[in-house]
Structure 1
Amino acid sequence: MRTYNSGPALMQQIRETRLPDHALALWALGQEGFLVKYGETKILFDPYLTNWVFELAGEPWSRRFVSPLAPEDCEEIDYVIISHHHEDHMDKQTLQALSRHEQTKFIVPRAHLSLIRSWGIREEQLIGISHLEIVELSGDLSLEAHAAMHEQLEQNEEGEHLYLGYVLSLGDIRLYHSGDTIGFPELVAWLQVKQADIAMLPINGRDYVRRGSGIAGNTNYREAVDIGAAIGADLLIPMHFGLFPHNDENPAYFVDYLYSHYPEQRFHMFTPGERFIYMK
């Protein structure tokens, strides 16, 4: 059976991956965690690389698989992008470890800046962002935030959104990472204008039982596919499955729905630690 790299070997693969123009590489790290490489720039989305949720809450929050990367493996990361403050997305232990590298910048919903400051991350490493704001990164990279509806839109007293998704522009490639969200008309309208090449959306869904346990829901596999198709994405990537058995969905349903309703739609379903290269 084929296995993918992990630990220092995976970081070496990331470091040694060379990309042509108009291309990027993606590595899946579990849940909504992805590492993106464009040129020599390395970006992490929502890295949950520890077992912190289980340490806080106990069962049933044990991981189904060990993270392909440990925090100490992650050298030379330029940007860490956080969608919202849930511990499997804004992982205190991972972020504190990554903050030891002075070159690493953290792009965080402005609503959560005070919390992340309290974790000891230096002010010069922090970049706050909110709905419809754009941050210019290095070279030809930029990031635009869009409000996400993790069951509902939520804002703090200052009007800053608690949940965000992002359109990351890398040269002429646009990648949409939804964060945790359900579908809503405004989201589709925003994204249709952006013409994302890659759309990454959760498929774990929501239901009465999980809501009663305090688990906020997301798009299910049908909503994720329909949104991706509606915004005209070239490639769909399902995420937020496989890590926690009690908050999961079978990704085969995502594939079956695509096959039945959008048979020409491109997609890729990751194994943790797998590398995928996208060329425009």
Structure 2
Amino acid sequence: MVRDIAKEIESAVVPEDAIAVWALGQCGFVLKSAACTVGIDLYLSDSVYEKYGAPWSRTAPPPIAPEALPPLDAVLCTHHHDDHMDDATLRALRTKASTTFVAPRAHLSLMRDFGLDERRLAGMNHGETLRLPGVEIKAFAAMHDTFERDEAGNHRFLGYTFRFGGFTVYHAGDTIGFPELPEWIRPENVDAAFVPINGRDYRRTAANIVGNMNYREAADLAADIGAGVVVPMHYGIFRHNDENPAYFVDYIYQTYPELPFRLPRLGERFILWK
């Protein structure tokens, strides 16, 4: 039986103390609360392979075409890399008239290049808060190997917290661990943390593939910030820039047996409760 993800998103009724989540691949998710629906880092094309060729082919097709998504209240991008700020996906979503598009202020020019309406764009930088109907969004600098800023001092890589009423989500974007990060995020009292696990190594660095936390660092961060549940991401789409999520599960089992986790499959819907 083929699932209709768009219908699932539209018809889901979510309690006040929970969120519904659709895992759409890489770092891409749709989050639905009782009050609003947002997407983040949606990579629903094969544009990376189309631009750069091998070895950037997807291991599986997108679970839904971007134009098939129902209207979203907001679509966020954590940074400018093509599997997070995908022009093919964003161009398809620009027809959704109710959507606000949020990105690092350092990359708003790229969003404009994709044909997105200036009146529906919102730029953010570290420490800033954006309030939209049903959700409060706060931006935190990410260190995708290093901090990078534009000429105006705006961070090029961000993570976000989403406060949906009484439920708070942290999406780390692409980042390595660094001492300030748990100090910034811990006061947010995160109910669910979405963290990358694909790591970094000599071979990928030599190929100019920018690194992230590995599975141990990701679990350590979730524990350090007191997350209610941790969800790994950034695996399963590109074989040469991947990690086995079973290592993440085993490390949690051995090191943080009290830390709940959810290991999503591509296209899966699940509910997170407070």
**Secondary structure in 2 aligned to 1:121?**
coil
Measure, in 2, the Cα distance between the counterparts of 1:232 and 1:40.
25
* 1:239-259 CA distance string (max 9 Å, x none): 000000000000000000001
Measure, in 2, the Cα distance between the counterparts of 1:45 and 1:175.
12
More off after superposition, 189-198 vs 25-34:
189-198
Contact 1:33 1:46 in 2 (8 A): yes
Superposed displacement of residue 201, structure 1: 0.4
1:234 aligns with 2:243: no
Structure 1 consecutive aligned stretches of length 4 or more whose deviation exceeds 2 Å: none
Contact 1:203 1:249 in 2 (8 A): yes
Match of 1:15 in 2: 10
* 1:5-61 CA distance string (max 9 Å, x none): 2xxx11101111111221110010000000001125210010000000000000100
1:249 aligns with 2:226: no
Measure, in 1, the Cα distance between the counterparts of 2:184 and 2:2.
36
Match of 1:87 in 2: 82
What fraction of aligned residue pairs are identical, expressed as a percent? 49
1:111 aligns with 2:130: no
Contact 1:34 1:44 in 2 (8 A): yes
* 1:102-160 CA distance string (max 9 Å, x none): 11110010000112112211101100111000000103x10000000000000011000
**Secondary structure in 2 aligned to 1:184?**
coil
**Secondary structure in 2 aligned to 1:21?**
coil
Measure, in 2, the Cα distance between the counterparts of 1:72 and 1:119.
15
Contact 1:201 1:237 in 2 (8 A): yes
Contact 1:4 1:273 in 2 (8 A): no
Query: Number of paired residues?
Result: 274
Measure, in 2, the Cα distance between the counterparts of 1:247 and 1:169.
31
Match of 2:181 in 1: 187
Contact 1:4 1:274 in 2 (8 A): no
Match of 1:215 in 2: 209
TM-score normalized with structure 2 length: 0.98
**Secondary structure in 2 aligned to 1:187?**
helix
Match of 1:167 in 2: 161
Match of 1:42 in 2: 37
Superposed displacement of residue 4, structure 1: 7.0
Measure, in 2, the Cα distance between the counterparts of 1:40 and 1:229.
28
**Secondary structure in 2 aligned to 1:267?**
coil
* 1:156-181 CA distance string (max 9 Å, x none): 11000000000110001110000000
Match of 2:92 in 1: 97
Q: 1:174 to 1:40 in 2, by over 3 A?
A: closer
**Counterpart amino acid of 1:276?**
F
Measure, in 2, the Cα distance between the counterparts of 1:19 and 1:189.
31
**Secondary structure in 2 aligned to 1:266?**
coil
Measure, in 1, the Cα distance between the counterparts of 2:143 and 2:73.
28
TM-score normalized with structure 1 length: 0.96
Measure, in 2, the Cα distance between the counterparts of 1:238 and 1:115.
28
Superposed displacement of residue 194, structure 1: 1.0
**Counterpart amino acid of 2:105?**
R
**Secondary structure in 1 aligned to 2:213?**
coil
Match of 2:47 in 1: 52
Q: 1:86 to 1:115 in 2, by over 3 A?
A: same
Match of 1:205 among 199, 209, 217: 199
Contact 1:30 1:240 in 2 (8 A): yes
Superposed displacement of residue 77, structure 1: 1.1
Measure, in 2, the Cα distance between the counterparts of 1:78 and 1:69.
18
Unaligned runs of 5+ in 2: none
